[in-house]
Structure 1
Amino acid sequence: MPKILIANRGEIAIRIIRTAQELGWSTVAIYTAQDTSHATFADEAVQLDDVSWFMSPERVLDIAKRYEAQAKRYGFLSESFALATLLSPSTPGPNITFVGPAPGTLRIAGDKMLSRELAVAQGVPVARGTHVKSAADVKAFVNSGVGYPVMIKALDGGGGRGIRVVGAEDEVESAFKRCLGESPSGQLFTEKALSGPGWKHVEVQIVGDGTGDSVHLWERECIEPLLAASLELARALKYKGVGTFEYLVNAHSGEWVFLEINPRIQVEHTVSEEITNLDLVRIQLLLASSTSTTLAALALTQASIGLPQGCAIQLRLTAEDPTRQFRLTPGTIRPANIVWPAGRGVRVDTWLCGVPSCSVGTDFDSLLAKIVVRGTDLGETTQRAVRALRETKVGEEIDVKTNKVVLAGVVAHGDWARGNCDTLWLERELAEVMKIGEDVLKPRLGGLSSQEAQSGAAEAVVSPSLSSGSLAMQPGAIFHLELFKDGAKQKHTLTLASIAHNTFPGHLSGTLQSTFSPGPVAFSLKQAQSSAGVSAGTFDLADPNDAAHVGAPMTGKIVDLHPAVLAQTGMVAKGDALAVLSVMKMESVVVAPRAGRVVKRGKGVEVGVVVGEGMLLAVVALDGELGKSRL
């Protein structure tokens, strides 16, 4: 029986495990202590000491050897020329098959500059670009007649990492540094940014067998030149496996350019599967299982694929708060916090399953689920998407926020139906999209009154019992608090009028009647906690009323600190990078809001730790404030 190591996580790892088991293969998963759900589906599982091991060809290969895997499904190392070379038949060692393209193919497809050169050689248009080694190189490229805006990209970036749009010279230095920090190889290039009215991002999914035979699985805009170009490039590479060829297309002028190759199955492969009735993971595994397995042997031809059948939409639900610039919202999600949509034409691929609770943290991307809907045409499929989103409930009674309202607003927007969504459309229309989404998702109570519905919801979330010694929070209970303001002391009475959520002391929300307000006051009390499960007591909280305090604007892992912060002394200028936080492998800089002297580093703040939003990073005091800031 073949044994395959799946070096991936999340819903795609579960999908691969299930398909491999349907083929009769044995499966080995790798996982970290805080991310285990996918591992419960595998026949064997290996815990990694550190999340960085996912990206280490040597460590992944060592696990494959120890567990005697005959094939290795690449996952995070999908573009790793190093791993493919280690598993090459020409490399001494155990016979382990790399599920994916050959090393020579990956060397080109996994390098954005080399893939651009291949496109040029095949007569496929590309945007003007060049390799850069410094911010000065970027500026020289711009001044050569290209002008702003430009894109700075990591040669080995992907998934939004290692890429920045630069619109002015004063943005170059910071963008270059951030892209460099997000690039495993430390290699960057820049190209003219083609964005705005008319420009759309289009992907073509192809399948090749390594002999030069390739087929495409269509794409959204049905543009024949893009399909032909993708097959030409795949054949030139003798591409083996499933791959994604990306382009920018201008709907107004008809202009189009090649962007890059992602030598792996695309995130949106579920859409391709729905309109072709093919199992792309199964095809990928079968092609890797034997050198004699070809597209012809699988009876897979362009004619057999035929035209797209119906329409499909993938709704990518993420743990991001759209009201706060789509920041990650870490937390723990349990089965009681989840309701998935069901019914005809609805499919859900998710990793929120298999274990009593799942943790959303900073180490991986924010994807919670792919909700895929299918219909006969765009109109029917869009209505099914709206219905599916109304049924979806994930984390709505806890701290984890999602982008559900944005998804609903997009598919309900008139521009969606008209096909008028370009690469900057969401940035321009976000406020309207949010408004439409909120309206679309408003509860439909049917025969229930609003009061009855709210009562039922409250009863569903109130804890059935409270641990010994905890406070019994009941509507109508009266507590006496002393409130202090500007040195004055005055007593007020607060009456707990209603409870919306009660898992005290973790979370208590509802409304209060008080002597200091004529109307009810909504409140929400939450026990502060970081995404790593560390109590807020491990850190200092930044005081928002103290101008000297610099707090973490989001939850993230600290990857760099200013020398003055490390030393807890030293001058910094306004705009200096005090800390760099890594969130989902993307870096965000926390800058000094003013010039001054660092007089304190926040408690527990050091490189490598995860800090929660609002935690104190540093205290930057002016000369006249030394000793006055509340430390």
Structure 2
Amino acid sequence: MPKVLVANRGEIAIRICRAARELGWSTVALYTEGDESHALYADENLQLNSASDYMNPEKIMDYAIRTSSTHIHPGYGFLSESPQLAQAAATSNVVFIGPEPEVLRIASDKMCSRELAESLKVPVAPGKRVSSPEDVLKFSRDIGLPVMIKALDGGGGRGIRICEKEAEFVDSFKRCLGESPSRQLFAEKALTGPGWKHVEVQVLGDGVDVVHLWERECSVQRRFQKIVETAPSSLPRTLVSPLVGAAVKMAKALRYKGLGTAEFLVNAQDNDWVFLEINPRVQVEHTITEEIMDVDLVRQQLLLFAHPNTTLSSLDFTSNLEHPSSHAIQLRLTAEDPTSQFRLSPGKILAEELTLPAGRGVRVDTWLSSSAEWEVGTEFDSLLAKIIVFGRTFEEVTQKARRALSEFNLTGQVKTNIDVLTGIVHHSDWSSNSIDTLWLERNLASVMKLGSESRPHRERKDTTPRVQTSSSPYVTLQPGTMFHLTVSPSNSESQSQTHALTLSSIALNTFPERLSGTLQTSMIHSGTIAFDLSQSTSVAVGSSSFELADPNNRFHIGSPLTGKIVELHPALTSDDEGDGGRRVRQGEAIAVMSVMKMESVVSAPRDCVVQRVGKGIQVGVVVGEGVLLAVVDEQVKSRL
């Protein structure tokens, strides 16, 4: 009986384990400390040394051999498109559930797949490999602005930047390079005007024959990250037909085996379209194809690799399936704060804080299961759950989406994009299918407002007392910051209850040792009460690894998000205080932070000189939001 090592985590690992168990396969899960929820669905599990092991082909193969696994399923992301892992598996007589290594070398490389498309007369946007910002400049002067800089092996919005001006080339090139595992980039003409939609075709191949399972639309995006997907697309069938034909033609040319997706940009206004890339793996949004086609894609994927002689016809895929008459929507619920540029919102989620939707026509794929609490960290992506709704018509599934989103509730410290999702499906442009790839960027403010107004306003649940942040033994007390605290009254007249509260005044602040003052309550009853707050920790602020920036001190530059420092300005690493050695110009990168494999720049707000670096600040450390990066002086020293 086959035994599959699932080289992934989260909801997709659970999805694979469930499908394998239904087939009678044994399963092995990999997990890291604090991220074990998916491992509960496997027969065996192994703890990784670190999250980086998910990206190490040698480590993955070692785990497969150690557990006597016959198969490796890479899921999506991580090593799912790695020719190295596929080759290592073949060498060790372990079945890699995905295309052959030589196919992956073409399909996972965006320029190689473009070249394949061109050889088959499939249209592509102008593009060229680039090795420097100067190459991008030359390319842009040949084809015009705007241009895209892309990683050959990027995905999920990573390793891609759009440049409207030549002045943006240097920084965008650097950021894309940092987000590319192979550190290889190409430039492409940006097709971002009104009317351009993102459409992809699902294919399944057995190494000889290929069938398609129609298309999905993924036009609701922010910074090239998909947020909401629908199936089928809103395009006329006459425009979908050539996309389907191109996808099948390319897959057959590759002698493709497994699940795959061909992605396209389509402009319905002028019937123009171009090929973008191939995703040689199961997609995050495979769920909506499953619902409209009534087929378990992960199950079929496993069956296809159960025996070397398995064919599509033996799986009853004798011809392309009829166009579906039903509709489905997938909404990606993420741990991000839309009010703060969609920054990751790390922290703990307690089971009692979470309410997920259910009911007829609603499916939820999530890793928030089988536990009393979960931790949202900085090592992995922000996806909490995929809310999938399906029904007979687009109007019906839109109504189901609205209902499902209204049922979702999460109290506590972790913020989500629920208002954005709600605003999207309540917007008139959604109902009229007037969406293109930049629609959300143009309408984000109104979408968030509409989403907030459309959601039911619930009182916050009582939560387990906690004052400790995910990576820090102390708490930043700032205006607008929300905490869940249990306080003891300083006098017998105050009620000992849980309140929604606002700090009114602080009398004593040696926090985390002690904090005393008054609270303005707004839930149980109105009025002001005195309180004492203490934290059960032996670590004082002074002995912490980092310092907190004072948000009211203009000379403090703090981290605007939780993330790993991957780059620091030379002024923060140099001991030279003479001749401008500690000088930073306005707009220069004080630090570059990596969160979920995407890089964000902390820029200098003005010309300044670094007086000192924050405690513990160095490349490679993970810092929390509000941590002091540097103390600066506005007086720029003269070179004279």
Superposed CA deviations along residues 358-398 of structure 1, whole A, max 9, x for unmatched, are 1111111111000111111011110111000011112x2x1
Q: Is 1:236 matched with 2:250?
A: no
| 1:552–1:612 contact (8 Å) kept in structure 2 | yes
Partner secondary structure for residue 538 of structure 1 = coil
CA distance in 2, matches of 1:462, 1:366: 23
The residue that corresponds to 1:140 in the other structure is 138
Q: Which amino acid aligns with 1:597?
A: V
Partner residue of 1:411 out of 403, 425, 440 = 425
Partner residue of 1:432 out of 446, 451, 463 = 446
Partner secondary structure for residue 162 of structure 2 = strand
CA distance in 2, matches of 1:463, 1:426: 37
CA distance in 1, matches of 2:409, 2:374: 15
Q: Is 1:571 matched with 2:578?
A: no
The residue that corresponds to 2:339 in the other structure is 323
Measured after TM superposition, the shift of residue 252 of structure 1 is: 0.7
Partner secondary structure for residue 196 of structure 1 = coil
Q: Is 1:103 matched with 2:115?
A: no
| 2:291–2:390 contact (8 Å) kept in structure 1 | yes
Partner secondary structure for residue 106 of structure 2 = helix
- Structure 1: runs of 5 or more not aligned: 444-452, 485-491, 501-509, 516-522, 626-631
Q: Which amino acid aligns with 2:568?
A: L
The residue that corresponds to 1:128 in the other structure is 126
Q: Which amino acid aligns with 1:163?
A: I
Measured after TM superposition, the shift of residue 461 of structure 1 is: 4.2
- Structure 2: runs of 5 or more not aligned: 217-232, 467-485, 496-502, 509-515
What does 1:237-386 align with in structure 2 at a 5 Å threshold?
237-303=254-320, 305-386=321-402
CA distance in 2, matches of 1:37, 1:95: 30
What does 1:48-67 align with in structure 2 at a 5 Å threshold?
48-67=48-67
| 2:205–2:251 contact (8 Å) kept in structure 1 | yes
Superposed CA deviations along residues 47-100 of structure 1, whole A, max 9, x for unmatched, are 111211111111111111111111111232111111112222xx3xx3101100
Measured after TM superposition, the shift of residue 556 of structure 1 is: 0.6
Q: Is the alpha carbon distance of 1:563 and 1:342 closer, same or farther for their aligned partners in structure 2, counting shifts above 3 Å?
A: same
Which stretch shows the higher mean deviation, 598-607 or 334-343? Answer: 598-607
Q: Which amino acid aligns with 2:39?
A: A
Measured after TM superposition, the shift of residue 566 of structure 1 is: 2.7
Number of positions where the alignment pairs a residue of Structure 1 with one of Structure 2: 574
Partner residue of 1:78 out of 77, 80, 83 = 80
CA distance in 1, matches of 2:355, 2:550: 37
Superposed CA deviations along residues 445-502 of structure 1, whole A, max 9, x for unmatched, are xxxxxxxx85xx56x44869xxxx9624899739996679xxxxxxx995644447xx
What is the Cα-based RMSD across aligned positions, in Å?
2.9
CA distance in 2, matches of 1:553, 1:62: 39
Using the size of structure 2 for normalisation, the TM-score is 0.84
Measured after TM superposition, the shift of residue 432 of structure 1 is: 1.5
Q: Is the alpha carbon distance of 1:292 and 1:482 closer, same or farther for their aligned partners in structure 2, counting shifts above 3 Å?
A: closer
CA distance in 1, matches of 2:417, 2:617: 30
Measured after TM superposition, the shift of residue 576 of structure 1 is: 2.6
Q: Is the alpha carbon distance of 1:60 and 1:250 closer, same or farther for their aligned partners in structure 2, counting shifts above 3 Å?
A: same
Q: Is 1:586 matched with 2:598?
A: yes
Partner residue of 1:542 out of 546, 549, 554 = 549
Measured after TM superposition, the shift of residue 589 of structure 1 is: 1.4
Q: Is 1:17 matched with 2:17?
A: yes
Superposed CA deviations along residues 562-584 of structure 1, whole A, max 9, x for unmatched, are 23313465423223322111011
The residue that corresponds to 1:629 in the other structure is none
The residue that corresponds to 2:36 in the other structure is 36
What does 1:424-503 align with in structure 2 at a 5 Å threshold?
424-443=438-457, 454=459, 460-461=462-463, 471-472=488-489, 477=494, 494=518, 496-499=520-523
Q: Is the alpha carbon distance of 1:392 and 1:493 closer, same or farther for their aligned partners in structure 2, counting shifts above 3 Å?
A: closer
What does 1:151-162 align with in structure 2 at a 5 Å threshold?
151-162=148-159
Q: Is the alpha carbon distance of 1:527 and 1:201 closer, same or farther for their aligned partners in structure 2, counting shifts above 3 Å?
A: farther
Superposed CA deviations along residues 520-559 of structure 1, whole A, max 9, x for unmatched, are xxx9x99999xxxx99943211122222211101111111
Q: Is the alpha carbon distance of 1:198 and 1:152 closer, same or farther for their aligned partners in structure 2, counting shifts above 3 Å?
A: same
CA distance in 1, matches of 2:526, 2:165: 48
CA distance in 2, matches of 1:526, 1:374: 49
| 1:10–1:37 contact (8 Å) kept in structure 2 | yes
Superposed CA deviations along residues 193-214 of structure 1, whole A, max 9, x for unmatched, are 0013100111111111111333
Which stretch shows the higher mean deviation, 555-564 or 472-481? Answer: 472-481
Q: Which amino acid aligns with 1:565?
A: L
| 1:474–1:496 contact (8 Å) kept in structure 2 | no
CA distance in 2, matches of 1:412, 1:203: 24
CA distance in 2, matches of 1:483, 1:178: 46
CA distance in 2, matches of 1:608, 1:342: 42
CA distance in 2, matches of 1:549, 1:196: 40
Q: Is the alpha carbon distance of 1:493 and 1:240 closer, same or farther for their aligned partners in structure 2, counting shifts above 3 Å?
A: closer
Q: Is 1:187 matched with 2:184?
A: yes
CA distance in 1, matches of 2:358, 2:182: 43
Q: Which amino acid aligns with 1:41?
A: Y
CA distance in 2, matches of 1:182, 1:352: 28
> Which 4+ runs in 1 deviate beyond 6 A?
473-476, 525-529
Q: Which amino acid aligns with 1:80?
A: S
The residue that corresponds to 1:600 in the other structure is 612
Q: Which amino acid aligns with 2:396?
A: E
CA distance in 2, matches of 1:375, 1:152: 39
The residue that corresponds to 1:488 in the other structure is none
The residue that corresponds to 1:446 in the other structure is none
| 1:558–1:581 contact (8 Å) kept in structure 2 | yes
Which stretch shows the higher mean deviation, 215-224 or 176-185? Answer: 215-224
Q: Is the alpha carbon distance of 1:498 and 1:405 closer, same or farther for their aligned partners in structure 2, counting shifts above 3 Å?
A: closer
